[in-house]
A and B are shown apart, each in its own frame.
Chain A
Amino acid sequence: MANVTADVIAIIASKVRGERPSIRLTDNLEDLGLESLDAVEMIFELEEKFDITIPYNANDSRTEFATVGDVVRAVTSLVDGKA
């Protein structure tokens, strides 16, 4: 879990433009400046990193992945499901 959280945060941080001191689980992806294409790229990198498939559709998933914590939880449950 700790590793997943760190990896997810690192991937999200790589999408944030400009300086950002720290990313918290409660941060909203939109507030971090992630646009829809950044989110699509983030999902792709997470899938590659953890060898999982995230059922993400840019047309209806905005609320599903609102915060950093939402992403961590979704990835964790997919990684756990795989194990």
Chain B
Amino acid sequence: MHRVVVTGWGVVSPIGNSAQAYWDGCARGASGLAAPTLAPPGELSQKVVAEVKGFHPREHFTERELAFMDRVAQLGVVAARAAIAQSGLSFGEGLAERTATIIGTAVGGQTTQDENYVKLYKEGARRLPPFAIPRLMVNAATSQISMHCGLKGPAFTVASACASSTHAVGLAFHMVRSGAIACAVTGGAEASIAFGPLKVWEAMRIMAPDACRPFSLGRKGMVLGEGAALVVLEPLEDASRRGAEILGEIVGFGMSADAKDITNPDEGGMTRAIESALADAHLEPHDIDYVNAHGTGTSANDETETRALKRAFGAHAQKLAISSTKSMIGHSLGASGALELVATLMGMREGVAPPTIGYLGPDPACDLDCVPNAARPMRIDAALSNSFAFGGLNAVLAVRRFAK
């Protein structure tokens, strides 16, 4: 069994298009929410979304490449390149074949699908552009990352809705830990801000019109986001041998299924995933200082997650700092777990718990310390990152500040 460390990270997010810019945004409690530009704002009950800003595809790709790439793949490849560049790895013969590409994407190329259906149903097109399928297939981001970065080992997409990239990183972690692979480029990508996807979210009646306020009194639900976060994982001994900078350590991964309801979250399922991650990490509840919550800002999730944390942590729950990055970057579905993992690792490294912004006041049903409105300097030695998907699919990662 290897110790598994993070040696690179890359981020494209609504509050910054590099890992450092993203962290700076988290640390100052920046909001990435604004009126949509990727969909007509007037026809939506959601007046805000969390779009990636200032992203210019032609700065990263040729026209020929872009013909085959939906926005979700573009964001994924840019984040993967940044993560690999930071790791200092080059994938020559040998390592490339033993490096996995495991990416979480919940819904894939929704913009491509939406645009094609508008042409077909609304504009009465008789034929559609030829490359819609390779753009919209849910594995497209994984495939494009493997192609653009030359990664030839095991590669697949994990789709478990809002937990996709936490499941992806967890699987990659277990594969590196066991020695099944020598390296993994893993994380998540999502870009589903388009009129059709926003309307079907609107129909669920769980979207906030104006702001995402997890754990707060007066919260009104989710805000849809987009982005990508990728990390490079490798065994500690390999990273040390080549003198790589070690950004953090992944120590445990837990999963569970609620096996109950297709949308309502379940305290029992959440609790089992948390306990399973702690057991996998050989950590006790009192070892954990910080939890990056799933924290969607819906009434149901935040209450249920609070109860699950109390059940898993007992009295120690009151001592935890718990925050929701979604308050700043919205809910980027398949990318959210990886974005939140990076926020957790960076917070640990900087000695800062990122905040839950938009907090209006305490809700008695969410009575844990959610680091309201301002980041908090604190020592974080061990932390969890929670992801709890629609459909009751739960995934939790446990991380530690790296120390030899």
> Contact residues of A with B, CB < 8 Å?
35-37, 40, 43-44, 55-60
Contacts and interface: CB of A to CB of B under 8 A. Distances in A.
Given A36-B264, A36-B300, A37-B263, A59 B221 contact: yes
Contact of B299 (A40, A43, A55, A60): A60
Interface-centre pick from A35, A44, A57 (highest chain B CB count, 10 A): A57
18 contacts: A36-B263, A37-B264, A57-B205, A57-B207, A57-B208, A57-B209, A57-B221, A58-B204, A58-B298, A58-B299, A58-B300, A59-B208, A59-B219, A59-B220, A59-B221, A59-B299, A60-B220, A60-B299
B91 to A, nearest CB: 46
Interface-centre pick from A37, A40, A58, A60 (highest chain B CB count, 10 A): A58
A40 B221 contact: no
Given A57-B208, A58-B205, 5 more contacts: A35-B264, A37-B264, A40-B204, A57-B206, A59-B297
B203 interface: yes
A55 B220 CA distance: 12
Contacts of A59: 206, 208, 219-221, 297-300
Contacts of A44: 203
A58 B206 contact: yes
A11 to B, nearest CB: 16
Contact of B220 (A35, A36, A37, A57): A57
Interface string B131-165: 00000000000000000000000000000000000
Contacts, number: 39
A58 B203 contact: no
B294 to A, nearest CB: 15
Chain B, interface size category, equals 10 to 19
Interface in B207-247: 207-209, 218-221
Interface-centre pick from A35, A37, A55, A59 (highest chain B CB count, 10 A): A59
A36 B297 CA distance: 16
Nearest to A37: B263
A59 B204 CA distance: 11
A60 B218 CA distance: 8
A56 B205 contact: yes
A35 B263 CA distance: 11
Contacts of B205: 40, 43, 56-58
A43 B205 CA distance: 10
Contacts of A35: 264
Given A40-B204, A40-B205, A58 B264 contact: no
B135 to A, nearest CB: 31
Contacts of A58: 204-206, 221, 298-300
Interface string B174-215: 000000000000000000000000000001111111000000
A63 to B, nearest CB: 12
Nearest to A62: B299
A66 to B, nearest CB: 15
Interface-centre pick from A35, A37, A44 (highest chain B CB count, 10 A): A37
A29 B309 CA distance: 30
Interface string B274-314: 00000000000000000000000111100000000000000
Contacts of A36: 263-264, 300
A4 to B, nearest CB: 21
Contacts of B218: 60
Contacts of B209: 57
A36 to B, nearest CB: 7
Contacts of B300: 36, 58-59
Nearest to A55: B45
Contacts of A55: 45
A37 B264 CA distance: 9
Interface in B112-139: none
Q: Top 9 nearest A-B pairs by Cβ distance? A: A59-B299, A58-B205, A59-B221, A40-B205, A59-B220, A58-B206, A60-B220, A59-B298, A57-B220
Contacts of B204: 40, 58
